[in-house]
Structure 1
Amino acid sequence: MSETSPYASVIARVPVREDEVALRGGRTRLWIYGADDAAHRIVFLHGLRGDHHGLEPIVAHLPDARVVVPDLPGFGQSPPLPDDPHDVGGYAAWARDLLAAVAPAGDAVLAGHSFGSIVATAALARSQPPASDETEPAPPVRGLVLVNPIAASALAGPRVVVTRLAVLYHHLAAALPEHVGTALLRHPVMTRVASVAMATTGDRDLRRWIHAEHDRYFSTFADRRTLLEAFHASVGHDVGEFAGAVTAPTLLVAAERDDIAPPAAQRALVGRFPEARLAMVPGTGHLAHYETPDAVAAAMSEFLTALPVT
């Protein structure tokens, strides 16, 4: 089985360094790609059960950008939030603090993939309350980019039956003793089923690599509680809840074959933002960051270039 990344050579050319920032009483591991004097700055949030590795193929196709990619708290190398829940409000508050720490000048674009699209949009919504009872203002940014955005709640979407089965699976994992439930959530068969369901490419080598990526990183969540909180947040919310309160220019990068966030829902979603445009990537699904990262990056680059200079 080939597990060699088809993007290894282009990723290897991108300078990268690791760092860590203290946020909301905890620590967040992050990776900074590209030159410090790059023309554009991006803070990019990954999706559920992922980590920074999943966004590297897109980042590698953005040579004119300095991209900060954190591991969301509770995933990858970032430990869970010590005091906040791992729901949309908790992650949105964390994302606002992240922007203040790594892009205090307000010159960055915030981006998110899949569940990260919900978090990113909630973080920039003017009236979205964080985990505390106080309302924090949306941080200044140049723009917002949403890749494979969750256009409608999965509990009401076209894959509602599959989603309800996934909810039942997670409820079972929650009801079992912790070590048994955690093992169930990390079971390789569950990982492979999810990977096969999401991959749309007909390229066998690319499919093998995608499955290998999920095998490596899909189960790097910190603990059962964190994953369950984040999972229920991901299926119970969508970008549309927060779209109307986002004032930043917004780009939606959707995928033609995405049955988690289908094109019709994306076309409806773009109209809910005060200022947004839609780019549709043909021939791919919800794993556009793996299958067509060059096309995603091209849409992002065009959007970045068109933004007013800060």
Structure 2
Amino acid sequence: MVAPSPYASRLAQIPVERHEVNVRGGTTAYWVYGDPHAETTVVAVHGYRGEHHGLDPVVAYLDDIRIISPDLPGFGETAPLPAVPHTLETYADWLTDFVRAVAPGAVVLGHSFGSIVVAAAVAGGLEVPKVILVNPIGAPALEGPRGILTRLAVFYYWAGAKLPKPIGDALLRNGLIVRVMSVSMAKTKDAELRTFIHDQHDTYFSRFADRDVLHEGFVASVSHDVRAFAPRITQPTLLIAADRDDITPIEAERHLQTLFPQAELVEITGVGHLIHYEKPSEAAAAITRFLRPSADGRR
């Protein structure tokens, strides 16, 4: 039984359409939310092992903005890209081509691993007016508050890729392990919200194409962070960070802000790495304010 979403009634009021586009030899599935004539379009990139559904709670509070939300290659309804390893460079090139094909000139938003993909693409030349990073990976994952758990995750994904395929697949899709991941990230005390979060992870965390792309994506996610790209991102940038994030501590996020030529940091309290599930209205409020036209008429 699917747990009811606390955001379902709001999301139901926003029109949504599913589309596909050929990008770098593969078919990318993406969803378009909101008024097609809205003044502002945001391309939203989800995190590792997730898919576009994860950002739906934030979309529910952005009813005046057109949102384009793709599934990353190898996750959800987007197949892996053919004949290439799924490195960070691959994902950044894919995002660059996707935005140019579907929404040139759009603002780009990335959550978690999506923040690294967005940062790499923009630093590499993707032309966008503004950048939004939610729960940005602002420090090496292996050095975070749960560095030991991250090292265990490295072994877990390595083992899943190296064991005989039936055993490796079973390990990577194991429901108990997915639940442990979910429990470790959720900070809310609201029982209904926790049930919804766990159901989301149970439903979508195993919708990856195969163990190879899952392992490649994990290596990309823990081998890079946003710091390396920040100095080359000259566009106005919004960082939305959590004060209880176990992956990037808030002190590292404050330092990350200083590496951008022009960035502001919004800190959301009482939440960890799941801002998009636990406090989407606060994130959406910060995004809406950031996207308002400035005094000189730019968006």
TM-score (norm 2): 0.97
User: What residue number does 2:76 align with?
Assistant: 76
Deviations 1:135-160 (A, max 9, x none): xxx12211000000001111222211
Deviations 1:119-175 (A, max 9, x none): 00000004xxxxxxxxxxx12211000000001111222211010011111122122
Deviations 1:182-212 (A, max 9, x none): 1100000110000000000000010011001
Q: Aligned AA for 2:252?
A: A
Q: Does 1:207 align with 2:205?
A: no
Q: Aligned AA for 1:67?
A: I
Q: Does 1:265 align with 2:252?
A: yes
Shift of 1:306: 4.6
* CA gap 1:167/1:102 in 2 versus in 1, 3 angstroms: same
Q: Does 1:88 align with 2:88?
A: yes
Cα pair 1:25 1:83 within 8 Å, conserved = no
Task: Name the CA distance, whole Å, in 2 between partners of 1:16 and 1:293.
Answer: 18
Cα pair 1:34 1:65 within 8 Å, conserved = yes
User: What residue number does 1:112 align with?
Assistant: 110
Shift of 1:87: 1.5
Runs of 4 or more consecutive aligned structure 1 residues displaced over 3 Å after TM superposition: none
Shift of 1:309: 2.2
Task: Name the CA distance, whole Å, in 1 between partners of 2:83 and 2:261.
Answer: 33
Task: Name the CA distance, whole Å, in 2 between partners of 1:157 and 1:257.
Answer: 12
User: What residue number does 2:153 align with?
Assistant: 166
Task: Name the CA distance, whole Å, in 1 between partners of 2:129 and 2:34.
Answer: 18
Shift of 1:94: 0.2
User: What residue number does 1:276 align with?
Assistant: 263
Q: Secondary structure at the match of 1:142?
A: coil
Structure 2 unaligned runs (5+)? none
Q: Aligned AA for 1:242?
A: F
Cα pair 1:2 1:205 within 8 Å, conserved = no
User: What residue number does 1:132 align with?
Assistant: none
Q: Secondary structure at the match of 1:271?
A: helix
1:289 to 269, 272, 276: 276
User: What residue number does 1:46 align with?
Assistant: 46
Q: Aligned AA for 1:224?
A: R
Task: Name the CA distance, whole Å, in 1 between partners of 2:86 and 2:284.
Answer: 29
* CA gap 1:177/1:237 in 2 versus in 1, 3 angstroms: same
1:236 to 223, 238, 241: 223
* CA gap 1:268/1:177 in 2 versus in 1, 3 angstroms: same
Task: Name the CA distance, whole Å, in 2 between partners of 1:99 and 1:170.
Answer: 30
Q: Secondary structure at the match of 1:278?
A: strand
Q: Aligned AA for 2:66?
A: R
Q: Does 1:23 align with 2:12?
A: no
Cα pair 1:149 1:254 within 8 Å, conserved = yes
Q: Does 1:197 align with 2:184?
A: yes
Q: Aligned AA for 2:63?
A: P
Cα pair 1:267 1:278 within 8 Å, conserved = yes
User: What residue number does 1:62 align with?
Assistant: 62
Q: Secondary structure at the match of 2:292?
A: helix
TM-score (norm 1): 0.93
CA RMSD, aligned part only? 1.2
Cα pair 1:147 1:254 within 8 Å, conserved = yes
Listed as ranges, the matches of 1:118-129 within 5 Å are 118-126=116-124
Aligned residues: 297
Q: Aligned AA for 2:80?
A: P
Identity %: 53
Shift of 1:263: 0.8
Q: Aligned AA for 2:264?
A: R
Deviations 1:48-89 (A, max 9, x none): 110111001101100111000000000000000113321210
Q: Secondary structure at the match of 1:145?
A: strand
Task: Name the CA distance, whole Å, in 1 between partners of 2:21 and 2:184.
Answer: 35
Task: Name the CA distance, whole Å, in 2 between partners of 1:304 and 1:218.
Answer: 31
Structure 1 unaligned runs (5+)? 127-137
Q: Secondary structure at the match of 2:109?
A: strand
